[in-house]
Amino acid sequence: MQERRTSRARLDATAERIRIVGCVWLVLAAVFSASVAAADHSTWAGTMKPNIILVFIDDMGWADFSYFGNTDAETPNIDRLAAEGIAFEHFYVNSPICSPSRVAITTGHYPQRWGITSHISHKRQNEERGMAQWLDPKAPTLARGLKKAGYATGHFGKWHMGGTDDQSDAPPITAYGFDESLTNFEGIGPKLLHRMTSLDEEGKITHERFVPEAEELLGGPVTWMERSEITTGYVNAALKFIGKATAENNPFYINLWPDDVHDPFYPPLDKWKKTDRERFLVVLEEMDRQLKPLFDRIRQDPALRENTLILICSDNGHVPGGGSGGPLKGYKTMLYEGGIRSPLVVWGPGLMDKEVAGMRNKTSVLAAIDLVPSLLALAGANRPEGPSYDGEDVLDTLLGKSGDSRRAPLFFARPPDRKEHFGFKDLPDLAVRNGKWKLLCDYDGGRPRLYDIMSDPGESKNLADSHPGVTASLVKKVTSWYRSLPAHS
């Protein structure tokens, strides 16, 4: 009993520290704005607010779409969007692991500002890592900003920003600005839970339920589905949501966040394979196939086709034995390019000039935190009061009207519990991308490694000694950034 009281006291103390530091940061950020002023998009913005669909795929490598070089599997439906839109090759998510990456693309802020630095787990583990238990529902989310601008807002798929394991008291997804939600076992609200069917070594069918206690802990209503079909469940919910929004003449914003390609990989039984890599490839193709009805719904309706923007990317890199980063070094959880660089496909024929269709942008450096201010600008929505964005308005680049990169450097900090992972030891703690340069170092600036990412995407040739000025400058920038973060990070 004494241990439970002590643990509860530690949890309360941690929560109070996070609340106080967060409030201080909100005040400071309102005074000292680091964001770039919003661009004037009035020359192209129409009178009808564009619809927005964000497809955020779980644990997929930079080179997993066949459009980005995968020759072992085909993703024709996503490839078609790329061929009709723009494929960005230097797009970064803001953490190499799921929960903080999702916080960044939701808020436009570095996730450390909200106390989420690694994957959200059970409360004691979060406390031990100095983490918030869930994203503060007062955070200025993209969904809330769009809802205030008149959008219908829906989240369909993985959440993982609170409401997993023993977090039954976490805020529901609808507390973050969404009208409707449907998630998995990592969020509060209606959900689809995985029933996993596989073949054993002898070819016999086996059945298991994924996290079978989740329906009691995390509410409902609950629907059990085969893991191999679960993206169809999210797509069907999204299609119903689109039908309702269009019938009511409302613009819509949809998160479609599938988790198919997160391990373990469970393809349909009639396509079962023996190795993880083979199963991953089948699951990847199945995900692409299951997304097709959503893409077709938009493409085949002239009104939606001309006034909808679809964005597709991954929350972080792949795991060994599953996806692929192509020439990029490293995996999920690491600050090497393979952990933080994602393919980005942007499609919107009615919002882009026809000449940009099929363009490959090989130079513009953009990030997930940039999507929030950019999409608010697309919608003509007001920026919320409170903390300034770490992200920048790069809408003209997303629409192919400019080839600019974001102006400020991009900073990264590794998950605090992943100093060693996937066979890599003593991993770097911090990273910064600034123009063509990428630097990695430890918290104190030690062991700097400098790479020309444009010519060396595999981070194979350390140029720190031959460019001491660049090295010293970037070490100072990234360590200063890290020291500026709230104390609990």
Strand segments (E) across 58-102: 86-92
Quote the percentage of the chain above a pLDDT of 70.
88
Condensed to tens digits (0 to 9), the pLDDT of residues 409-451 reads 999 999 999 888 888 889 999 999 999 999 999 999 999 999 9
At 241, give phi and psi (nearest 5°).
Answer: -65, -45
Whether 41 shows a pLDDT value over 60: the answer reads: no
Q: Pairing relation of β-strands 252-257 and 180-182?
A: unpaired
- Distance from first CA to last CA of the chain, Å, rounded? 30
Check whether domain 50-406 has CATH 3.40.50.300, yes or no: no
Residue whose entry in the numeric block shows the structure tokens 């991954």: 314
Instruction: Tell me 337's DSSP state.
Output: H
Residues 6+ apart with CB under 8 A from 186: 120, 158, 159, 160, 163, 164
Condensed to tens digits (0 to 9), the pLDDT of residues 343-401 reads 999 999 999 999 999 999 999 999 999 999 999 999 999 887 767 899 999 999 999 99
Residue whose entry in the numeric block shows the structure tokens 């950034």: 481
Instruction: Please state, in angstroms and rounded to a whole number, the distance separating the CA atoms of residues 351 and 346.
Output: 11
Instruction: Please state, in angstroms and rounded to a whole number, the distance separating the CA atoms of residues 233 and 107.
Output: 26
Residue 373 structure tokens: 């201010």
pLDDT band of 203, cuts 50, 70, 90:
confident
In degrees, rounded to 5, the angle at the alpha carbon of residue 400 between the alpha carbons of residues 390 and 234 is 70
Whether 127 shows a pLDDT value over 70: the answer reads: yes
Element holding 462 (H helix, E strand)? none
pLDDT band of 460, cuts 50, 70, 90:
very high
Residue 207 structure tokens: 């059945």
Whether 10 shows a pLDDT value over 50: the answer reads: no
Cβ-contact 88, 366 below 8 angstroms: yes
Instruction: Please state, in angstroms and rounded to a whole number, the distance separating the CA atoms of residues 315 and 160.
Output: 11
Condensed to tens digits (0 to 9), the pLDDT of residues 262-318 reads 999 999 999 999 999 999 999 999 999 999 999 999 999 999 999 999 999 999 999
In degrees, rounded to 5, the angle at the alpha carbon of residue 284 between the alpha carbons of residues 281 and 289 is 125
Strand segments (E) across 246-336: 252-257, 308-314
Condensed to tens digits (0 to 9), the pLDDT of residues 82-116 reads 999 999 999 999 999 999 999 999 999 999 999 99
* Cut 0.95: pTM above it: no
Write down the pLDDT at residue 216: 64
**Mean pLDDT, residues 123-130:** 94
Domain ranges of the chain: 50-406, 428-484
Q: Is the peptide bond before 373 cis (omega within 30 degrees of 0)?
A: no
Instruction: Please state, in angstroms and rounded to a whole number, the distance separating the CA atoms of residues 162 and 21.
Output: 19
Instruction: Please state, in angstroms and rounded to a whole number, the distance separating the CA atoms of residues 318 and 277.
Output: 11
Residue 234 structure tokens: 């999210």
Return the CATH architecture of domain 428-484.
Answer: 2-Layer Sandwich (3.30)
**Mean pLDDT, residues 158-178:** 95
